[in-house]
Structure 1
């Protein structure tokens, strides 16, 4: 790694086959990150394919065409843990173990554990749902409740995994589409978003609970500073992409010592709508070498 550092990308590809048709492999070859966390592969294991120059650790889950996560590394990892093979222990999470939402690898060439998460999008609580005003039919708050169960369980599971890495002498890095924006800086139209899934007060409080100077550090916010952005998701619809109206829901949360080594952050937003690889853009952080 000639720069004396290493580069980590997190990217919700919104279907790896579609992203590859649009140019994912050219992005990967041009960017050459050392580690890549991918979310929403949305295909079977045989359809993911190989990635030139990378070893892929994958959990596609068992729901056809949904979810699926992977970690791409330069070398084969020292260990790989999926929820399918190692079901989560925290109450409420085993129900999600087959969905292809979480994978964790111990790098062979760095004292680092990298996890990738695709967190459920959720929905609105029943009292915020109004017939005819939603993209989806009112569900009485079922998707909201399911996400809340996931958040509660994952808080405990994440703490367990973070501490396990520390006991093993490893730093810890969580990558992924968490489907939660934390601060007003993270959503363009934040006032309206306060009654939208992903920016509800309880979701924002959860993000604050799992982060902090002694737990996991929101590396992107620390590097970018107290100002709007950097956005990582824009709707396919309308002119959201052109007008840069979007959300920051893709994150890199690092153990404190690793977070102090973060040098720079970039979002590889494409130049035009027709060049988009996904409705998300890759989130790339460069860290000083461990």
Structure 2
């Protein structure tokens, strides 16, 4: 069995205070992908990633973003957006994000698999949906929305390129991470109130629809849990959202069909030793692969 987990830890130092180090040491994962590590390399706590090898792109925005892939053995190759790859030039819509610490991709050395970790921008509302009386932030005229939609368009092309490159080298491909998009009504607890909320807008959901086909990428957790609400992977810290399991499923394993067929079990680690590690929870999948 080959175990892969993905987790938005919302700050490596805060996550360690809540028990992330023990979770990492005891969960027995072969690969762990992380988002929102939020820490410069020189400020990482001692033993931040346990005994794992780490491919980490911290980005250049202090205290924000940062993605990593942890592996048991050194990967055969590592690709980040911050290091230009002449064989895979970034789409122009993604170039402005190249130094933000949003994407890292590795070719595993021990199994024929490429694994990527993505932290997709949260975005915002289009201008016509912005009502100052109902917003916590000042209206921006749809700037964050347009930024996210441009990212999605560019990333769709990048994703296809990475998937095809993996296939050409005899590898399966797995995209993991915080996509900041809930796909269907089963992925948002209060979906009726979320139809005009960033992350559940019709155009965002349509984008995810277009990435998922029987021949390209499969939503592994939904394949294993086809008829349930959730399992959710993010809950607001506010109110009783967590206690009532009023969450969103926005953290994914999107796998090429050959890998997806080997998935045996998928669970969300809502807490570790009675403590939430983050506002997100790790999504752990066991694959009969390798």
Q: TM-score, normalised by structure 1?
A: 0.96
Residue 266 of structure 2: aligned partner:
265
Pairing 1:81-230 to 2, within 5 Å after superposition = 81-86=79-84, 88-230=89-231
Q: CA deviation at 1:271?
A: 7.1
Question: How many residues end up aligned between the 2 structures?
Answer: 285
Structural RMSD (CA): 1.2
Q: CA deviation at 1:86?
A: 2.6
Q: Which runs of 5+ in 1 are unaligned?
A: none
- Supply the distance in 2 between the matched residues of 1:205 and 1:133 (Cα, whole angstroms): 25
- Supply the distance in 1 between the matched residues of 2:259 and 2:269 (Cα, whole angstroms): 22
2:15 maps to 1:19: yes
Q: Is the 8 A contact 2:81 2:90 kept in 1?
A: no
Q: CA deviation at 1:135?
A: 1.5
After superposition, the C-alpha distances for 1:139-177 in whole angstroms (9 at most, x for unaligned) are: 000000000000000000000010000001000000000
- Supply the distance in 1 between the matched residues of 2:8 and 2:31 (Cα, whole angstroms): 14
After superposition, the C-alpha distances for 1:243-278 in whole angstroms (9 at most, x for unaligned) are: 100100000000010000000000000279x71110
Residue 250 of structure 1: aligned partner:
251
- Supply the distance in 1 between the matched residues of 2:65 and 2:127 (Cα, whole angstroms): 25
Find the residue that maps to 1:242 and give its secondary structure.
coil
- Supply the distance in 2 between the matched residues of 1:23 and 1:94 (Cα, whole angstroms): 35
Deviates more, 1:90-99 or 1:73-82: 90-99
Pairing 1:18-97 to 2, within 5 Å after superposition = 18-49=14-45, 50=47, 51-86=49-84, 88-97=89-98
Q: TM-score, normalised by structure 2?
A: 0.96
